[in-house]
Structure 1
């Protein structure tokens, strides 16, 4: 099948749309045929985490669209926009290999093999017609801010991040008009903010009940959360990177045993400090710097009081999250404390 964009793009069995206008022609036909459309938003450099979202969409929708767009608005001026991994030909190969066999309830009907239906690959000018700067003071045009919910957790370390995420995702939702959208638990605050955004802006495609948060995909041997930025890790970095997950698990165990929030955080920090000392004694050439370990309410992201315990957490799940620098690679992860089924699909 030829691509829907120019010849400079690699050959693809999946139609590629680089403009909103071209994509909307395809989407209009799906509306007319009353077909559901699942959507997975990515910045490319696809891995099994992205593919788990694609697989979920293939299983639950007639059609599946994947966007690939490295969004300048969610990178601060000092962050890695220029060096962020861009692997579009390999991304297409991975997407083309994904499929789901949908069987009809009526056994006389043949099964249908679903594959990715379209790739939305917009340019920066297509997504930001007024232009875009990584410096928010220089930006012109329309931007979205989720007031009061984006300054905690990741927002504390990356103060302009969620403004950029909210802006680009509302643009993507407006362009794609998905029936269902899928996001990973690794970016739990982002996913919950997008549910709130959908509700606050009265979106119909998707409405908040059709934004699904899927469990974090992990390395099967180390439980390291999969991320495109893991490609930055050195060999020594890969050896120590799983410590963030180990630290959060230690905090989870303490929480379940009735420890205070402060004690849980202390235990997590102790795990990381022990691993730092071990790395030094083993002669590993790696620099580990803890950004944060924190416990937050899942409804408003407010920090849990230092003396709070599991028995006092109430009905809302608690988000235990952390961020760790391994050399120049920033790793994030989280665990839902309490009834995760209220959050995770």
Structure 2
């Protein structure tokens, strides 16, 4: 154990922690993890660890896939190597332990073949080859129910009681009446370094929408995965349930997981920015125009990364505030890709295809990858 690691562990113990918590995101966007002792933590920092690769061979309910190629009964479900990402350290105040994100790794290779975080890192590196860096943030819609894990099963997931009844989007009344929950969730997210820029009621009984603050590189997806998991923790401790299904009921609109992003150049300026808000496509900066062209052309081929479940497609229907075709427009919430104009630093693309159920690493990789292909190939938007 190095002096630096020993000092870190000593600092944890001074704060009353005796364990460290770690989490790795599986193919479905579910964080799988464990608590480890301080001694085990020191070893993980030094040489990494192993985690059963069944997390790449089953679904959100731990049902094993048939016919998988990466892992399965034919491989025996061996351990997959992983490493702790040291700069993802954060403190979980309600548990009194430090938390680290892990990333699966393959010895001698730059990228793991199926790790979602590694997939996004590959896309980021491709953008970096063009002198471009990602700045992005997710926003999520989710339903909150006055239920428990036992009660929803007793009801067979039907006739659930929402936290609040009726459709009241942006309701100050609803938010103020539940201020302890609204402000409590925002404060909790600040404490775990997953800050929310805004939180409000959406249209639908018990529907909330949270917009995560923009960040760089892998951090937007890291924060998104943590938000989806730990907001559920927050509500569970208050005898409520949050769901990020794409559509829990055909009686209501679906829940989105929109991805807002821009690309920064080597000087740190917005490569999508323009000194004046463009009035038509010809006035868009070239890289923004070509990024939109790439999204429109290639996202249909990457749809499984944005809409990964059967339930995802119940959201993508007409008249439900969700896109149904590969379209784009200026500040147009009926399109798949909304170009948001404004000041040079704020101009960006909103990918409106992904639902709240999408794995944030894969959703970001799909959108970024399509945009970079558009820039490389100088694709003009239709």
TM-score (ref. length: structure 1):
0.29
Q: Point out the structure with the larger strand share.
A: 2
Q: Point out the structure with the larger helix share.
A: 1
TM-score (ref. length: structure 2):
0.27
